[in-house]
Copies of this chain bind each other. A is one copy, B any other.
Amino acid sequence: MRDVVIAGVGMHRFGKHLDRSLKQMGSDAAWAAIDDAGVEPRRIGCAYVGNSLGGLLTGQEGVRGQVILSEAGLDEIPVVNVENACASATTALRGAWLEVAAGTCDVALALGVEKMFVGDTARSLAALAADSEIDLARQGMQFSAVYAAHPKYNLRGRMEQYGWSARDFADVVVKNSRNGSLNPNAQHRRALSAEQVLGSPMISDPLTLFMCSSIGDGAAAAIVCAAELAQQLTDSIPVSVAAIKLRSGRTFTTGDEGFSTLREMVGELYDETGVGPEDIDVAEVHDAMAPIELLVYEQLGLCEPGEGPRLLREGVTALGGAHPVNPSGGLTSRGHPVGATGLAQVAELVWQLRGHAGARQAKERPLVALAHNQGGALAGMDSAAYALTLLMR
């Protein structure tokens, strides 16, 4: 297979955009990526479009990508609409990568887009419930409560085992909200104190409101290109796609097995690329709820089990630290429009690797960047989709 680069990225700012449709946000992000890559649109040989909730929330059940791309003026190419809950956008990126790597085309578009604010919050929440991130939600629990109660996360057990406190979870939000305050594409741009996080309404003990990602609208896109043709076809600073991995979790019986699929994927990623946790210059991880970030530190090998709060206290994962995590603000601050999130992570990492992240530049010259994205929690099954993307300058 051919080497592949990301030649351009683009976003439609995440937020509450009652006046913006899937079409408009998706088309804007696609064109932002095309312009960023400096590629001629007619060179785009195929498109993968990730979206999760558009059927139930907008009524557009079928051919969502074609509806969006026809608005963007892109037709007569293979368009594949993909869905993998909160990992939909990374699934789209993987599809575009595979097409270019396999040689079916030289340039491909990956787009992730979601519209969750439809002027009827009950409907938005019902769609999330039906999103099956959530057999539990059908029992009348809120989305966030799934995380608090899910045996995979076992938050109460971990708090007891490691001496973690709600304050540790709040510290994740303090870091990420500061990063988000520096990100013009972020949904929430207020830097929060630990007191503000802990004092926000309790959603599902131990999770308070500001520890939880909110619903949101937005889009993100990437142009991928065959590495050997990037100089000829694009006008940008290419970033290499070292690996993209996608996998469904295993059916599990105890909480300890909950993250075993992710752990194996990370191990394979490191083995295959020769990269280790010490090489990760910057990462975006799926902090749908703040404590997940601490758990992912462990899975990525950035620390031993239970040591996440120490990394936070020592500034290891802050901007300027050894391994900055979620410089964009992460899901809790940059926002989490389900089907757009994975490509927003990748867009951020491309900007970081280029040194174009402005006030939130995580390091002066990062070389290696990792995105962790996951989606969908079925009863008795680990995440329905885990996705890892390793990028290199």
Contact = CB atoms under 8 A, between A and B. Distances in A.
Interface string A76-105: 111111111100000100110011011110
Contacts of A98: 98-99, 102, 104
Interface size class of A (residues with CB under 8 A): 35 or more
A76 B78 CA distance: 28
A203 interface: no
Judged by DSSP, the binding face of A is: mixed
Contacts of A75: 248-251, 381
A144 to B, nearest CB: 17
Contact of A61 (B55, B64, B81): B55
A84 B82 contact: no
A25 interface: no
Contacts of A55: 55-56, 61, 130
Contacts of A81: 82-84
A146 interface: no
A133 interface: yes
Interface in A217-272: 246-251, 261
A385 interface: yes
Nearest to A135: B67
Contact of A63 (B69, B80, B376): B376
A127 interface: yes
A119 interface: no
A248 B376 contact: no
Interface string A326-342: 00000000000000000
A62 interface: yes
A44 B293 CA distance: 32
A375 interface: yes
Contact of A76 (B52, B64, B85, B249): B249
A118 interface: no
A191 to B, nearest CB: 32
**Most B Cβ at <10 Å: residue of A61, A75, A385:** A61
A78 B82 CA distance: 13
A378 interface: yes
A364 B56 CA distance: 48
A61 B132 contact: yes
A121 interface: no
A128 to B, nearest CB: 9
Nearest to A46: B246
A84 B77 contact: no
Interface in A343-368: none
A183 interface: no
Interface string A131-175: 111000000000000000000000000000000000000000000
Contacts of A131: 61-63
A376 B66 contact: yes
22 contacts: A52-B61, A53-B62, A55-B55, A56-B56, A60-B130, A60-B132, A62-B84, A62-B130, A62-B133, A63-B85, A63-B384, A66-B381, A66-B384, A67-B378, A75-B248, A78-B94, A80-B94, A80-B246, A95-B95, A98-B98, A98-B104, A102-B102
Given A63-B132, A63-B133, 9 more contacts: A55-B55, A60-B130, A61-B132, A62-B133, A63-B131, A66-B376, A66-B385, A69-B248, A78-B247
